[in-house]
Amino acid sequence: MKQSFPFVRMVLPEWFMLTVYKVWSKMNDDATGHDFLHAVRVMELADEIARQLGADRSIAMTAGLLHDYYRKEEKQTGRLHYGLEAINGLRLEFGPLLMPALEEEQFERVIDAIARHEWYGKNSEPGGSELSLDAQILQDADRLEAIGAVGVARTFMFGGAHGLPMAEDEALPKDAWFDPNIPPKGSVYRHFYEKLLHLADGMHTVPGQKLAASRHQFIVLFLEQFEGELALNSQT
């Protein structure tokens, strides 16, 4: 089994190699910004946050690598990749690969974190259900990938893949807010105000908050330059 993969910097345990290969085989040609590089970066960020918090790093890196595994199916079918169908798919496809290296309880914590990772509240889901530490770590790692230079690049990749224009010749709604339950709409520019500029304030962990600060500042500066060049009025 090949011991290295494109973009992977961390040392991978032997029991994890088949899972990484499976993810690489499916996601390496993605052009929506949810490719293997994204999965790897979330894996490594989640692992680092878990290390600093003294959390379970095996759960963090596994959830990070697998969290967007069904993005292709989402685009092809219009069904949400984090829905029940995808969660059941993860159990069937990766349960045999990951257990018994991961105990069943650990594997279910991976699944639970992935199932909750697209909620964009602060510390709980609608209805008040508290997010586990595993879910908070995954959310923070995934959000970090959506801001900073990489986040800007991924946003334009996503917009192009979904047929969104770069910008709109009209004012943005003042109450614009991202809703993961509906198809992408508007423009790439709108997405910054609907989602990306809110992410730093939604970080759960102290390591996530520290890492988000400079990345958030980068997208603020990028937008100032972008708006100036295109003579856009964000109406913020």
**Residue type for 183, please?**
P
Contact predicate 176/160, CB 8 Å: no
Contacting residues for 96 by C-beta, under 8 A, at least 6 apart: none
**Residue type for 223, please?**
L
Question: Higher-confidence residue: 200 or 122?
Answer: 200
* Peptide bond before residue 165 is cis, with ω within 30 degrees of 0: no
Write down the residue that tokens 């990484």 correspond to.
20
Write the DSSP assignment of 3-34 as a string of letters: S--TT--SPPPGGGHHHHHHHHHHHTT--SS-
Structure tokens at 219: 């997208």
Contacting residues for 17 by C-beta, under 8 A, at least 6 apart: 1, 2, 3
Structure tokens at 170: 């009209």
Average pLDDT (128-136) is 84
- The conformation of residue 196, written as its DSSP 8-state character, comes to I
Give per-residue pLDDT as tens, 29-56: 988 899 999 999 999 999 999 999 999 9
Average pLDDT (181-200) is 85
- The conformation of residue 194, written as its DSSP 8-state character, comes to I
Structure tokens at 205: 């962990």
Mean confidence (pLDDT) of the chain: 87
CA dist 217 and 69 (Å) reads 30
Residue 12 pLDDT: 93
Three-class SS state of 130: strand
Residue 71 pLDDT: 84
How far separated are the first and last CA of the chain, in Å rounded?
A: 52
pLDDT above 60: residue 1: no
Contact predicate 114/87, CB 8 Å: yes
Average pLDDT (169-173) is 67
DSSP E strand boundaries for 104-209: none
**pTM score:** 0.88
Residue 77 pLDDT: 67
